[in-house]
Structure formats: structure tokens, C-alpha cells
Structure 1
Amino acid sequence: MPKKIYQSAGDKFDGKIIAYHDKDFLDSDFGRPVRLLLEYLKPEVMMQDRRINDTVCIFGSARTLSPEQAAKELRQAKAALKKAKPGEKKLCQAAVDKCLRRQEDSKYYAMAREFARLVAGYEDKDGGKRFTVVTGGGPGIMEAGNQGARDAGAQSVGVNITLPFEQEPNPYISDGLCFQMHYFCIRKIHFIKRCKALAAFPVGFGTMDEVFESLTLIQTGIIPRIPVVLFGRKFWEDLVDWQCFLDRGLISPEDMSLFKYCDTAAEGWQIVKDFYKLP
């Protein structure tokens, strides 16, 4: 059946339907400004209601496994290798090698969980929670962040994104604080608006985007200076040749102070405490 061709907006929409009840109109290109506003406004109102003011954003790969899951997958891969026929051994060995790498990287899951526990558990002089953990709401490092906040008995936020390959919210996000987003740009606003510190763990494209945009906003004075903590010094130094930026005059020497490295949860939390002169 051929797709219907509309000659004008008048052919496409039913004028008798009130605009805010007209799903066809709201879902159309014409309705995009309204959708953008609503996607900003709904989480904003709900976070204000929960008195969430100061947040620490935890970014990292959705693919990072917990130590328990990594160990389980390694056991399964080794069992498959043991049973493999001669023609299957090379492929099974490659699977074991991959699992070994993922097990090594699972330390970052544990690190993110512990960092989030330290952040979420910190109390101000009045006995209230000082910071709220915010993550992208998905699995991996995001899950570790929300799990760590739960370990501390604190609420945490998940700003989840709808993707073609479905990303389910993790089970550790606090009730009423899991927000499903369609627009990356609005999601970033909710990450940054209340952010008092940013923690980035080993990453894929998504977190690289978030880290560099955050650094740009700080560099250009669009947002106030906040601590940006990069967990896993070797990973970041292997990934980004910061000196190359500097040598070519693409950033200023003072821009190198916009972030700090650390290799433990306690070290990362100390960077945040030192920045805000917290006891």
C-alpha cells in the first residue's frame, strides 16, 4: 500500500482534536519544540520535588561487567574450551582471552560502586546527604554508581536513554528518579545542571562525548569550575594524548588542570573533598 502523501499540514492533522491531545501532531516534526521542553521539564520538576540540588555524575561504559558476572563468564568460557573439539579450540581460546580482559576491567565496576558509596554516604554538618549520585541509568558503570548509592542508603538518579538496541534501566535507581529520555541534548542538560563533580571511568563513544563536552563547558566558562576525575590513569593516558593538544597549541597550559587522574575510589573522593574543602 503506497505511503500517504500529505499536501500540507492541514491534510495531515485533524483540526477538531485539541492540539495537546493530538498524538500525530505532537509526534511530528512540528511538535519537536514541545517535546524538547517536556523532556526537560518533567525530570526538572520531579528532581526539585525531591530536593536534589548537588549531584555527582558518574560516567562510564555500559559494557563493564561486575566482578561476579565477569568471573561467571570466564568460568563458562574455560568450560567451553575444555570441551572444545580440535577445530573449535582457537575460537574458544579467543573467548577465554576476551573474558580475561573483561575480568581485569571489572575492577572499575567495583571502583565506581565504592566511589558512589562514599559520595552518597557523605553527610553535611546538619546530618543531611550532601550529594546525590546521577548516572546514565543503564548497565555497567552506570549500574555500579546507582548500586553504590543504594549501599549507602541514599537515593540516586538514572537518566536513561532510549536506543535502537534497547537499554533497560538498571534495578538500583531510586523509585521515582528513573527518567526515560529520547533526546541526548536534554539528557546532557540534566547531567550538568546540578553537577558538582564528574567522575569518568573507562569509556566508549558516549562517555567520551560527555567528558569532552563537560570539559568544553568548563573551559569556556559556560558552567562553573567543578572537579573532573578520570579513573584509571593508564587507560586515559593511553586513550588521549593530551600533550599533543598542548604541543600543537590547541589547548592552553591551564586547561591541563581541568581534570585529575586517580586509581582508587578513595583517591577520587579525596579529590572532590579537597576541591570543596570538605572535612
Structure 2
Amino acid sequence: MHPYRRDEPLPWQQPKPREQDADAPERVQAILSSDSYRQADEDTAFLRRFDTRGVRLQIDYLKPEQLLEEHGIEHTIVVFGSTRIPEPSAARQNVQRLQAALAADPGNVHLQQHLAIAERVAAKSHYYDIARAFGQRVAAALADRPDCRAVVMTGGGPGIMEAANRGAFDAGAKTVGLNITLPHEQYPNPYITPELCFRFHYFALRKLHFLLRARALVAFPGGYGTFDELFETLTLVQTRKIKPLPIVLVGREYWERAVDIDFMIAEGVIDIEDGELFWFAETAEEIWDGIQRWYAACGEPLFTSGTFD
């Protein structure tokens, strides 16, 4: 017997013929076209309803979880940073473009402001090179351990995240990006391993996956998104909701001006020990060496089982 095909069709394999009821074919077609008849897992309008949010949350978690498992990804080194800090050559080109525009219209206050900002971004563009070098450094270290299934993971966007993915890509390693659906158009950076680039609907589930396998968090200068991920992690470690892990802030000059931790301690809103949940680094080597020393001081290997419950 054929597993699917029958010699004699079953009664429901053909619609009611027009000879028996002249209006039957149109009625059947109306039923087949109805939203209610669409299979639930293929009905995107139904899946987007308010009361199916629980299902969306489940699959937003489950798809990347299963694919990461299938690819054997057990550990991640997570890198955050501004999407607005490009590679130095691009930063210089932007400055030159604005300088030319301002030369043609020297009284334009708007251009003056944008040029000043572009010059500050260009001054920070060396962090792109540091992030790229760090991605290479991690990938090279992992290449010496073929039994270790670890990768660099970022938010998948441009700027600093692109640089970290790019460094791992340069070294021939797999690298992960966790994108998020936003109201405006966006693209993942081109250095993520295609089968390891995921797009989330919910920020909460994206954050969960950032930390599920994380063995370290490296935060470069950034804005609201970087602060969001950084302080989320600091809070989880502070409250011991997750096991402590290395948290490295790259660029002391930036971070000490952007966040006054000593002021917060003096004001009594955090404890002295909460100011010791992270440390500063300036180079790719300092970041990687510091992470290794952290685990050595804890008496445990850098790569073990997951940390999130």
C-alpha cells in the first residue's frame, strides 16, 4: 500500500459537485478562503492577536534555543556597544563630508553641531578596532580547543557589534547575532554566521538568550541599548538572580564620565561591593586576560555549563 496515495479516493477528497447543488462550489470556496479555516500555525494574523501572546513568547524563545543546541553552542562571550561607532575609515569620511558641507555654508549652526559630534565619534572609532581584535582573540583562543563549543555573540547590528562579529569572522569562527524586530528597516551586519543570526520580537526573550550561555559580558561605549543590557546584567548579578560573571567596561574615560558609580555609592543607592561587579579595560588583550584571571581567581574553568536558571 502506498503511504499517501489511494486507488479509490475517499468521499471528502472531492468537493460537492455542481450537478447536485449549483451553488455548492462557491460555498466551499468561501469556506476554504475563510480566516477560520486557515490552519492555526499558518495563520499569522491569529498568531499576532493579543490573546496569543503566550504562544509568541514561547516560540520567540524556542526557535533560537533549538537552533543553538543543534549547532552545539554551549558558551558565549557577549559583546555590546554603540551601533554609531563605525570603523575609523568610515568615521573619517563622515567628518570630511561634513567639513566640506560646512565650508560651503560656514554659518550653518546645524552643520557645526553635526560636525562636532562626528569628530567625537571619529575619536572613539578606535574602539571598533579593539572590538574586532577582541573577536579575533576569542576565536583564536577557542580554535586551540576543538572540544569547546563557544562563540562571540552580539546584538547583530553595525558599529561595535559588527566589529566583534567581524573579528571572529576574520578568524574563521562561527559567530552569533541576536537582532530585534523594530518599526523601521534594519539589517544584520554581514559577518554573522547566517544560520546563527536570529531575529526576536520581544526584547525580553532576546535578553534571556544573551545571558543563557554567557561566560562574560564586554561593554564598549554605547547609548541607551548598551546601558539597558549592561545594567540588566549588573542587576541580575547584584541580586544573584544569575551566577556572577565577568563584566568588562572598555574605555574607562568614557564610562567614568557616562556613569558616576562612586557618586551612587556615596549616595547610598548601591553598596560598595556593587562597584566591584565590573572592571575597566583598554585593549583586546586586557579584556581577554582579565576574563581568564577572573575565572582563575574563582577556581573554575572559563567554559562550563550554562549560568541561567
* TM-score normalised over the length of structure 2: 0.80
CA shift, 1:65, in A, is 1.3
SS in structure 1 at match of 2:176:
strand
1:70-219 equivalent positions in 2, closer than 5 A: 70-82=91-103, 84-85=104-105, 87-88=107-108, 91-123=110-142, 126-129=145-148, 131-219=150-238
Between the two proteins, the alignment pairs up a number of residues equal to 265
- Any residues of structure 2 matched to 1:36-55 within 5 Å, and which? 36-55=57-76
Flag structure 2 segments of 5+ consecutive residues without an equivalent: 1-33, 303-309
Contact 1:122 1:131 in 2 (8 A): no
Is the Cα–Cα contact under 8 Å of residues 156 and 197 in structure 2 kept in the other structure?
A: yes
CA distances 1:245-278 after superposition (whole Å, capped 9, x unpaired): 2122222222121100111111111111112237
Superposed CA RMSD in Å reads 2.0
1:243 to 248, 262, 275: 262
Name the SS of the counterpart of 1:111 in structure 2: helix
Q: Is the 8 A contact 1:161 1:167 kept in 2?
A: no
Partner of 1:25: helix, strand, or coil? helix
Specify the SS of the correspondent of 2:231.
helix
Greater mean alpha carbon deviation, residues 173-182 or residues 246-255: 246-255
User: What code does the residue aligned with 2:45 have?
Assistant: D
Selected match of 1:68 from 89, 93, 99: 89
Q: Percent identity?
A: 45
CA offset at residue 206 of structure 1? 1.1
2:52 counterpart of 1:22: no
Cα offset, 1:26, TM superposition:
0.9
Structure 1: how far apart are the matches of 2:76 and 2:145?
Answer: 18
Instruction: State the Cα deviation string for residues 186-232 of structure 1 (Å, max 9, x = none).
Output: 00011000000000011111110110010111111111111000001
**SS at the partner of 1:64?**
coil
Q: From the superposition, tell whether residues 19 and 230 of structure 1 become closer, same or farther in structure 2 (CA, over 3 Å).
A: same
- SS of 2:73's equivalent in the other structure is coil
Equivalent in 216, 219, 227 of residue 246 of structure 2: 227
Larger radius of gyration: 2
- CA distance in structure 1 between the partners assigned to 2:203 and 2:271 by the alignment: 29
Q: Tell me: CA distance 1:70–1:129, structure 2 relative to 1, closer, same or farther (3 Å).
A: farther
Comparing 45-54 with 157-166, greater Cα deviation is found at 157-166
Q: How far apart, in 1, do the equivalents of 2:147 and 2:96 lie?
A: 43
Letter in 2 for 1:158: G
Aligned-partner SS, 1:210? helix
Aligned mates of 1:162, 1:231 — CA distance in 2: 27
Partner of 2:292: 273
For 1:176, give the aligned amino acid. E
Length-normalised TM-score, structure 1: 0.88
Residues 122, 129 of structure 1: 8 Å contact kept: no
CA distance in 1, matches of 2:239, 2:105: 59
Residues 5-26 of structure 1, C-alpha deviations (whole Å, 9 max, x = no match):
xxxxxxxx95444432332221
Residue pair 1:120, 1:129 contacting (<8 A) in 2 also = no
Contact 1:58 1:133 in 2 (8 A): yes
Letter in structure 1 aligned against 2:163 = A
Aligned to 1:261: 280
Q: Which runs of 5+ in 1 are unaligned?
A: 1-12
